[in-house]
Amino acid sequence: MKKLNKLSIIGYGAGDAANNLAFTTATMFLLVYYTDVAGISAAAAGTLLLVV
């Protein structure tokens, strides 16, 4: 198997970082929405995010 060059490694790392940032932002928004707007308890909202 061919080794990846440094530019490809940095590109994959940057893409993964952007994906994790988007996922974390959406998850944190949902947690605040569930607890403040929908009125679900924090424990139930955390369990919901864990299961789904």
Q: Is 40 helix (H, G, I), strand (E, B) or coil?
A: coil
How confident is the model over 38-49, as a mean pLDDT? 96
pLDDT tens figures, 12-29 = 999 999 999 999 999 999
Tokens 């789904």 correspond to 52
Let me know the angle formed at the C-alpha of 28 by 32 and 15, rounded to the nearest 5 degrees. 160
pTM above 0.75, yes or no: no
- Give the C-alpha separation, 40 to 19, whole Å: 27
- Which residue type occupies 12? Y
How much is the CA Rg of the chain, to the nearest whole Å?
A: 17
Instruction: Give residue 3's pLDDT.
Output: 93
- Which residue type occupies 27? T
Single out the residue of 46, 29, 47 nearest to residue 37, CA to CA. Answer: 29
pLDDT > 90? residue 52: no
Q: What is the average pLDDT value for the chain, to the nearest integer?
A: 96
